Structure 1
């Protein structure tokens, strides 16, 4: 119990720190923005602590199946931190931010193709957008997309060459998939396979779909200004992290479905939603 609470406190602090990172790194953050960031960080920290300190989570998936959530958190933390440094480099350059910008620019140009995600975002920018803003968006996308792709490769290797999620011997469906009811509807393996395919498909489509949705909503709710430093950081981070997270979840669901199917074939019983090693 004590170790679980201590771990929950550490995770809550890390989540709050990650959410506050752009406000801490970027210069000239307005006081109102800082207050909003602090409020969001506190709320996220409380939610994280409640989920990890409780015996059974309500929202967070794969809580007891590391390193799934650790990889996702690490991806978002690296993306947010790197983009914050790149954006800060436009007004307060240093060696590291300049290096990140150069690397991101090269990677962004390499990933740019007609009607690709980057091309769609560039089309969202005003026609009067300066070349410096276009270059900044390209560098930010290049860095973020590279981190996302590397995380997918890392998680694929983890699934392919390790016993995940059976690292501790069992996988409790109720604890690690609190929003998934294994007793309802169709066969659990088919449902997991279907959920996995849907998540992977969304992960592939979302980078192309998000700019189009934002552009369509701009006429109703107003345009999204990527000229604001924190807006740029979080917009690009969400643009890359959400598809990456969905893709990882799809791979995880298909992995669990494969394990359950294998246990069935080998006549290993599944008791109370627990898949044993």
Structure 2
């Protein structure tokens, strides 16, 4: 078994652990959804093995530009693990769960200001939502939002200090951006900058748009019920992870566009020095 396949299996195990974390930490009622969770985890693990063991990926971006995907996965895993421990503390309190609950309460209260994402995600709940569910939602939203902000800050520092993706190695657009066709449409740099701006705008707006969409669903369709701890964990994790992931992708695409533009300038200068440019 080669090294690439071993690394793919290791990543698949990490994905399995991520999806199974809430189920492993929380007590399961009779007739729970453990079978569904297991099926989703197996499917995600198989997808991860196929993507990371093949020579040409189909969907996963920046596969050969670490630690971009590792940072995003770590942020999501920390979010899910932290929220799972907080929910477990309601059934089986421990020193760790109580510490996380205290930290979450402080963070949630500090971020619960008018028009903040933490305040807006609470407003999408119905008026008859129990008070303890609202408090848990505020704690979870505050912690998840802080983790997402820290992941973005870490990526920005990595860009500045480590000069991501690398100073010396070339950036393979085909491997790292499998859904991007360099030969289609406008100039590559223009398209990358445009996609970067779209991702940055969506990443900034999603923490505000998701609660608004949830409120509309609550009014005109089935109200969102967060009495189930696993539902609350995954909803809050998605609410915090998707915007931060889009923001990081927008920053990464802008960086790739800058690299291509700089490479073109160097090639143009070298050609001009050799007298290869038409007069």
Report deviation, 1:220: 5.0
Q: TM-score, normalised by structure 2?
A: 0.92
Aligned residue in 2 for 1:218? 218
Q: Please list every run of 5 or more consecutive structure 1 residues that lacks an aligned counterpart in the other structure.
A: 270-277
The secondary structure found in structure 2 opposite 1:6 is helix
Report deviation, 1:168: 6.4
Q: TM-score, normalised by structure 1?
A: 0.93
Aligned residue in 2 for 1:236? 236
Q: Please list every run of 5 or more consecutive structure 2 residues that lacks an aligned counterpart in the other structure.
A: 270-279
Aligned residue in 1 for 2:150? 150
Work out the number of aligned pairs and report it: 269
Runs of 4+ in structure 1 off by over 6 angstroms are none
Q: What is the CA–CA distance in structure 2 between the aligned matches of 1:268 and 1:8, rounded to whole Å?
A: 40
Residues 197 and 30 (structure 1 numbering): CA distance in 2 closer, same or farther, change over 3 Å?
Answer: farther
Q: What is the CA–CA distance in structure 1 between the aligned matches of 2:183 and 2:4, rounded to whole Å?
A: 28
Q: What is the CA–CA distance in structure 2 between the aligned matches of 1:233 and 1:165, rounded to whole Å?
A: 32
The secondary structure found in structure 1 opposite 2:91 is coil
Q: Which has the larger radius of gyration?
A: 2
Q: Is the 8 A contact 1:203 1:247 kept in 2?
A: yes
Aligned residue in 2 for 1:93? 93
Aligned residue in 2 for 1:10? 10
- List aligned pairs for 1:57-136, cutoff 5 A: 57-136=57-136
Aligned residue in 2 for 1:274? none
Q: What is the CA–CA distance in structure 2 between the aligned matches of 1:14 and 1:31, rounded to whole Å?
A: 26
Deviation per CA, 1:166-206: give whole Å up to 9, x if none: 26611100010000011111111111111111101111000
Matched, 1:249 2:246: no
Aligned residue in 1 for 2:165? 165
Aligned residue in 2 for 1:21? 21
Report deviation, 1:126: 2.5
When the two chains are superposed, the root-mean-square deviation of aligned CA atoms in Å is 1.6
The secondary structure found in structure 2 opposite 1:89 is helix
Q: Is the 8 A contact 1:23 1:29 kept in 2?
A: no
Report deviation, 1:138: 1.1
Aligned residue in 1 for 2:275? none
Aligned residue in 2 for 1:203? 203
